[in-house]
Structure 1
Amino acid sequence: MNYPQIVTREEWLVARRELLTREKEATRARDRLNAERRRLPMVKIDKQYLFDGPEGKVSLLDLFDGRRQLIVYHFMFDPSWDEGCPGCTNLVNNIPGNITRLHESDTSLVLVSRAPLAKLESYKQQKNWTARWLSSYGSDFNYDFDATDENGEKPGISVFLRDGEQIFHTYSTTGRGVDILLGTYNYLDLTPLGRQEEWEEALNRSVIPAQS
C-alpha cells in the first residue's frame, strides 16, 4: 500500500476541510437512512420458535428478557462444524463487555446459531465470552430470517419489537450489513492503513475530486 502524499500543514488543512464537508454530508445521510429504517413496516410473528439455552428450552418471547426490543445476531455455526465462523468470532469480540446502555434503552442482545448448545457453550468458554448465546438447532429460525439458505450459513442481524406478548419483526440484514456492529472497524477506518483488507485497495487508489 502507498502512504498518503506528504504536504505542508496549510495544504493538509485545506484537504481536511474538504473531507470534513463530505463527512458531514455522510453523517446527515446516515441519520436519514436510520430514520427510514425506523419507519420500515413490521410483520407480526405468529410462528412459535424454541431455542436451547443453559436454562433449558426458551421461546422467542423469552429472549426479550422483559424488554421491548430484541437484537439477534445470527452467528455462523453450522451443526457439523467444531468451531464458529472466524468473522463472527471477530464480531462477538467487538461486543462491549458492559451492555448496560442497551438494557437502559429497553433492548436485549443475543446470539443465535444452528449448532447444538454443547458446541456453543464449549466455544463460548474457550473465548471467555459472556454474551447470551442460544441454539436454534432443529428449528426453522435461521431459514425464516435468511441466516441460512441452500448455500449454507450467513452472518446476519434480525431485530424484533415486543408489544405485550405480541412480537413483530422490524429489520434484518446480512453480509456487509453486519459491519455496523464491528466497533474496531470504525476505529481502523480512521487510519491511513484502514482495515487492511484486500477489497479496500481499489478504493485506496481512487481519487475523489475536490468539492467546489
Structure 2
Amino acid sequence: MTTSVQNGRDDGQPAMHTPLVVSAQAWATAHQELLVKEKAQTRARDALAAERRRMPWMAVERTYAFEGPAGKTSLLDLFAGRRQLIVYRAFFEPGVFGWPEQACRGCSMVADQVAHLAHLNARDTTLVFISRASQADIARLKARMGWEMPWFTITDSFDADFDVGEWHGTNVFYRDGNRVYRTYFVNNRGDEQMGSTWNYLDVTPLGRQETWEDSPEGYPQTPTYKWWNWHDSYVPDAAPDKTWVAVSDAGEAAFRNRDAGAKP
C-alpha cells in the first residue's frame, strides 16, 4: 500500500512533490536497491584513488617563500618534517568579498569542515592553508572563527604557478629528502568533498596507507582500524593499543561474517 504526502506551503511557494510513503518492507527493498548502487560508487571511488596514487609526479624546481607566525618559511618547511603536504589556497586578501573582517564565504565553509589535524599528521601528512593576507590579518581571522590549521601568507608566484591564482584549489605535494614533487591538484566542485580525514588522505600519493588499498609495491600500509586513535593520544612510533586491536578485530570479523551471508 502506498500513499502520497501532502506538502502544502503557507509561504507562497509551490507545494513539494515528495516521494510516496510505503510499508516498512517496501522501504527496505528500495533501500537495498539503492545500497547496491552506493556500494558500486564506493568501489569506483576506491579504484579512482588507486589510479591517483599512480599518477606521475612533477618536480618542483623553484624555491618558494611564505610568511608564517615565526617569519619567513619555505615550501619545504611547510611539510613540518612529514612526507606529504596538502595546500589549500583560501581567498582572504584585499578585494575579496568580506575583507577584512571575513574570508571568502566558500573558502570559509571549507575551513569550517576541516577535521582534527592529528589524524592526518598520524599518516605522515600536513595540511596548510595559504592566502595573500598578512599574518596579522590571518591570526585575527583564525581567532574569530576558531580555526586551528596552519595558515601562511603567499609572498611570490606560488599561487599563479600552481593554478590557484584566480580561484581556490588544493595542491598535494610529496617530499623525498629535500626534493619536493607535485602529485595532485583539484579545484571547483572537487574541493567540496575536502574536510574529512579520509577525503584528504585519498588525494595523497600514499593514500590512507591501509592494507586493503590497491597501492604500488612498497608503499607504507598498516592494518585497517589499528592506527586510529583519539586525537590527543597519538604517540609517534607507538604500537597499537592491545585493547583497541581486539575490539577492531572483532568488528572486522563481524563485518566479514555479515558480508559473507549477504545476497549479492
TM-score normalised by length of structure 2: 0.64
Query: Pairwise mapping of residues 61-80 of structure 1 onto structure 2 (< 5 A)?
Result: 61-80=76-95
What CA distance in whole angstroms lies between the structure 2 residues aligned with 1:14 and 1:67? 47
Partner SS state of residue 160, structure 1: strand
Of 156, 162, 165 in structure 2, the residue corresponding to residue 139 of structure 1 is 156
2:108 is equivalent to residue 93 of structure 1 = no
* Structure 2 residue aligned with 1:205: none
What per-residue deviation string (whole Å, max 9, x for no partner) do you get for residues 91-118 of structure 1? 111112x322211111001001122222
Which runs of no fewer than 5 residues in structure 1 stay unpaired? Answer: 187-212
Q: Could you tell me how far 1:33 is from its partner in structure 2?
A: 0.6
What per-residue deviation string (whole Å, max 9, x for no partner) do you get for residues 111-144 of structure 1? 01122222212211111211110010x4111111
Letter of the structure 2 residue corresponding to residue 35 of structure 1: A
Between Structure 1 and Structure 2, whose CA radius of gyration is higher? 2
Partner SS state of residue 129, structure 2: strand
Letter of the structure 2 residue corresponding to residue 133 of structure 1: W
2:56 is equivalent to residue 37 of structure 1 = no
TM-score normalised by length of structure 1: 0.79
Kept in 2, the 8 Å contact 1:72–1:159? The answer is yes
Q: Could you tell me how far 1:3 is from its partner in structure 2?
A: 3.2
Of 126, 142, 148 in structure 1, the residue corresponding to residue 165 of structure 2 is 148
Of 183, 190, 196 in structure 2, the residue corresponding to residue 177 of structure 1 is 190
Q: How many residues were matched structurally? A: 178
Q: CA RMSD in A?
A: 1.6
Letter of the structure 2 residue corresponding to residue 162 of structure 1: R
* Structure 1 residue aligned with 2:180: 167
What CA distance in whole angstroms lies between the structure 2 residues aligned with 1:30 and 1:78? 35
Q: Percent identity?
A: 42
Q: Could you tell me how far 1:62 is from its partner in structure 2?
A: 0.4
Q: Which deviates more, 18-27 or 3-12?
A: 3-12
Kept in 2, the 8 Å contact 1:71–1:158? The answer is yes
What CA distance in whole angstroms lies between the structure 2 residues aligned with 1:61 and 1:2? 54
Of 120, 125, 146 in structure 1, the residue corresponding to residue 143 of structure 2 is 125
Kept in 2, the 8 Å contact 1:114–1:135? The answer is yes
Q: Could you tell me how far 1:49 is from its partner in structure 2?
A: 0.6
Per residue, is there more strand in 1 or in 2?
1
Of 115, 121, 135 in structure 2, the residue corresponding to residue 103 of structure 1 is 121
Kept in 1, the 8 Å contact 2:117–2:149? The answer is no
* Structure 2 residue aligned with 1:194: none
Partner SS state of residue 148, structure 1: coil
Partner SS state of residue 84, structure 1: coil
